Structure formats: structure tokens, C-alpha cells
């Protein structure tokens, strides 16, 4: 009679295609039960809808069937808990990253705000769109793990495919490459309730294990604030520069100055500041109304010693386009001077990752 250990021995022959470790070692096999002519076990996935799920199920079935072709094999699926996923990602970091061998990213620009709600993600998306319209090869790495919004803006909802050396980023209608945690969740409303180390591991994987290929620009959408995620990007990803996003209130300016100090301490060059939601244009008379008070942009940039890249209005059409996943159809005429200033100021040298 076949034993549990024999089943596990066969499953130890099944290697994870990217991590080069077997599934048992990775903690992906649980609850092996052998009864009569049947074998039941659970395949535990880091995320419920990873691109290689079907391939893994097929591989483990084949491995166990090698013991006896007449076996009735049932493969149950489960998702890792937070601690299990953290351990899995830690092992993933220690493994080879073949995707890095095929990636050639010329410029990496992070978009950062000290405060949430200032439109940082929309500025990051518009920067990617404007660069792409100039003929650049562009990708967007959504490092806002607990509040990802980039996929919705671009109308992306399907999980990314798996390539021969790593995960392939999703592609927008115009060809911008995107990677976000929301593309790996069972549904886009699922909460990502993770502590800092797990968030940091995910960001590192998005950089090192995604097949970005040849890019002129990779835009990194950072979460607000100066905590683990932003620190991980500045320490582990070679950056060419940072764009700071603020809004007219002095409160927002104060918090973005904190973000600027963080960038300074980490040695990441600040390309300039974008003041978002500076005003709204009256649709009847064309008057510019400063709904959040007078602009503080020049005051903020003067304190930081960096240039003002531009001021952007509150635009209901942009909000509608983002909600509909059509940001690539937004005209973004006011953004053209901003992207021009970014490309003029971005240095060719990158920061050196600490780890």
C-alpha cells in the first residue's frame, strides 16, 4: 500500500519553476491523506490566483500518478496565511532571479507624496502615459501594496501571465507594462492586510522577478508617507530620481517636506514638485478658482531647493477617465510641460541599492 511518505517523496520532485526549490520544501503541500485507492492533499498557493496555478496542479497530479496510474487523486487548493506567505517570500528572495538577466531599464522614477489624497497615483499614471506618447517604452510598478489603484485607472483586471523566466507584466491598451498586487488578488476589492516585511518582500519581487524587458522608463507609484514600502524602494531599487506630489494646503506641503527629507537621507535625487488640485476652471467663464486656497507650491519648492514642475487642476474628466479605466484616453495637455521638465532633469546615473 502507498504511504504518505511515498507521496511526499514524489512531490519533492516537483520544483517551483522560478524558485528552483521543491513544493514540499516551500511549504506548498499539506494534509496528505492516503486511503484505499485514493490520495488527497492540499496545494497551498501564496495567492489564490497566481498565473502558474494550473501548471502546478498538473505537475503534482503527474508526480503522484507515477506511483500508480490507477490512483484517484484529489488536489485541493488553499491560500497561504500571512505568516506562511511571509516565509514563502523570504525563501523567494534567496533564490535566483532570472528575470533580472533580461531586464534593461534605463530610467527609474519614483512618484512620492507625504500625504494621501493628493492624487499621487494619478500623477504617476499620467507621467507614464505622457512618456509613452513621446515614443518611450514605459512600465509602471505599483508599490502601493495596501492601496493599489493603478490597474483600475488603466482598465486592467486579469492576472498577469507567467513567462519562462518570471511573471510577465500586464499590458495596457497602448502597450504600457503594469505590475500591481491587485492583479494577483481574487478580486480587486480584496484587502491586503500585511505587515511591513511582507509588503517589502512583494515590492522586491515586483522589481527583481517581473520580466519588464527593455524599458526607457519605469515609473514607481509609492504609497504615501515615509514607512516601510517607500524605504524598501529607496534601499533596494536603483532610482534615477523622485517626483514629489503635493496639493495647495500648507498641511500637505508640510508633509511632503518630510518625504523630501527622507529622499535626501537616502541619497535619491528629487526632480521637482507637482502641485496637484491647484485650482478648478469654471466651465462657464473660464475663471480659475483655488478651491483649496492659494497655491503653496513656490513656498514649498523654495524651502526644498527644487523646481516646481507644474500645477495641475482638479478635472472632473480625469476622474471619470480613471474610474472607467480610460486614463490613456485623457488628453493631458497640461501635463506635457511637466513630463518635459522631468526628462530634462532626470540623471543618467542611478542610486546604489543597499540590499
Residuewise pLDDT in 10s, the chain (355 residues): 789 999 999 999 999 876 778 999 999 999 999 988 899 999 999 877 676 888 899 999 999 999 988 889 999 999 888 678 767 776 766 554 667 778 999 999 999 987 778 889 999 999 999 999 999 999 999 999 888 999 999 999 988 887 767 789 999 999 999 999 999 887 777 877 777 778 888 888 899 889 999 999 999 999 887 777 788 888 888 999 999 999 887 777 788 888 888 888 888 899 999 999 999 988 889 898 998 888 888 888 998 899 999 999 999 999 999 999 999 999 988 899 999 999 999 999 988 775 5
Q: Which residue has the cell 512618456?
A: 131
Residue 253 lies in a domain: yes
Give me the sheet containing 177-179, strands edge to edge. 170-171, 177-179, 138-142, 214-221, 104-112, 241-246, 270-275, 308-311
At residue 244, φ and ψ (nearest 5 deg) are -95, 140
Q: Find the CATH number of the domain harbouring 148.
A: 3.40.50.300
216 and 170 within one domain: yes
Q: What is the pLDDT of residue 48?
A: 74
Boundary residue ending a domain (47, 77, 94)? 94
CA 262 to each of CA 6, 11, 79, 111, 235: distance values in angstroms, whole numbers, following the listed order: 54, 47, 36, 13, 11
Axis-axis angle for helices 228-236, 196-208 (nearest 10): 30
User: Alpha-carbon distance 308 to 230, whole Å?
Assistant: 22
CA distance 308 to 297: 7
How high is the pLDDT of residue 147? 87
Is residue 143 located within the same domain as residue 292? Answer: yes
- The span from the CA of 65 to the CA of 59, in Å, is 10
| Nearest partner of 249 among 125, 87, 114, 55, judged by Cα | 114
Predicted TM-score (pTM) of this structure: 0.75
350 within domain boundaries: no
Which residue, 27, 62, 94, sits at the end of a domain?
94
Instruction: Read off the CATH number of the domain in which 70 is found.
Output: 3.30.300.130
Same domain assignment for residues 111 and 158: yes
Number of domains in the chain: 2
What the block records as the C-alpha cell of 330 is 485623457
pLDDT of residue 341: 96
Any domain includes 169: yes
Q: State whether 64 and 206 are in the same domain.
A: no
Q: Which domain holds residue 190?
A: 102-345
Residues 73 and 171 in one domain: no
CB 266, CB 220: distance < 8 Å: no
Amino acid at each position: 500500500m502507498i504511504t504518505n511518505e511515498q507521496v511526499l517523496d514524489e512531490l519533492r520532485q516537483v520544483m517551483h519553476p522560478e524558485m528552483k526549490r521543491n513544493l514540499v520544501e516551500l511549504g506548498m503541500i499539506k494534509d496528505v491523506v492516503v486511503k484505499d485507492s485514493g490520495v488527497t492533499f492540499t496545494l497551498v498557493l501564496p495567492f489564490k490566483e497566481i498565473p502558474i496555478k494550473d501548471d502546478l496542479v498538473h505537475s503534482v497530479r503527474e508526480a503522484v500518478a507515477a506511483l500508480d496510474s490507477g490512483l484517484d487523486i484529489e488536489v485541493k487548493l488553499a491560500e497561504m496565511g500571512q505568516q506562511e506567505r511571509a516565509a514563502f517570500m523570504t525563501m523567494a528572495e534567496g533564490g535566483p532571479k532570472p528575470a533580472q538577466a533580461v531586464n534593461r531599464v534605463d530610467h527609474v522614477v519614483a512618484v512620492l507624496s507625504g500625504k494621501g489624497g493628493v492624487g499621487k497615483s494619478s500623477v504617476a499614471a499620467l507621467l507614464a502615459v505622457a512618456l509613452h506618447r513621446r515614443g518611450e517604452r514605459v512600465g509602471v510598478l505599483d508599490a502601493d501594496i495596501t492601496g493599489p489603484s493603478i490597474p483600475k485607472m488603466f482598465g486592467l483586471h486579469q492576472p498577469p501571465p507567467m513567462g519562462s523566466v518570471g511573471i510577465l507584466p500586464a499590458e495596457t491598451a497602448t502597450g504600457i507594462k503594469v505590475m500591481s498586487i491587485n492583479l494577483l488578488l481574487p478580486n480587486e476589492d480584496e484587502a491586503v492586510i500585511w505587515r511591513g516585511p511582507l509588503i517589502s518582500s512583494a515590492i522586491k519581487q515586483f522589481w527583481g522577478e517581473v520580466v519588464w524587458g527593455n524599458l526607457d522608463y519605469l515609473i514607481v507609484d509609492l504609497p504615501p508617507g515615509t514607512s516601510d514600502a517607500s524605504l524598501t524602494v529607496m534601499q533596494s531599487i536603483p532610482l534615477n530620481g523622485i517626483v514629489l506630489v503635493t496639493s495647495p494646503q500648507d498641511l500637505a506641503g508640510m508633509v511632503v517636506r518630510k518625504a523630501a527629507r527622507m529622499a535626501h537621507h537616502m541619497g535619491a535625487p528629487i526632480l521637482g514638485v507637482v502641485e496637484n488640485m491647484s485650482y478648478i476652471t469654471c466651465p462657464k467663464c473660464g475663471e480659475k478658482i483655488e478651491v483649496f486656497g492659494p497655491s503653496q507650491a513656490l513656498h514649498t519648492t523654495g524651502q526644498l531647493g527644487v523646481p516646481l514642475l507644474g500645477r495641475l487642476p482638479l478635472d472632473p474628466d480625469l476622474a471619470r477617465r480613471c474610474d472607467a479605466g480610460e486614463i490613456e484616453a485623457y488628453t493631458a495637455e497640461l501635463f506635457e510641460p511637466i513630463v518635459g521638465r522631468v526628462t530634462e532633469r532626470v540623471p543618467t546615473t542611478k542610486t546604489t541599492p543597499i540590499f
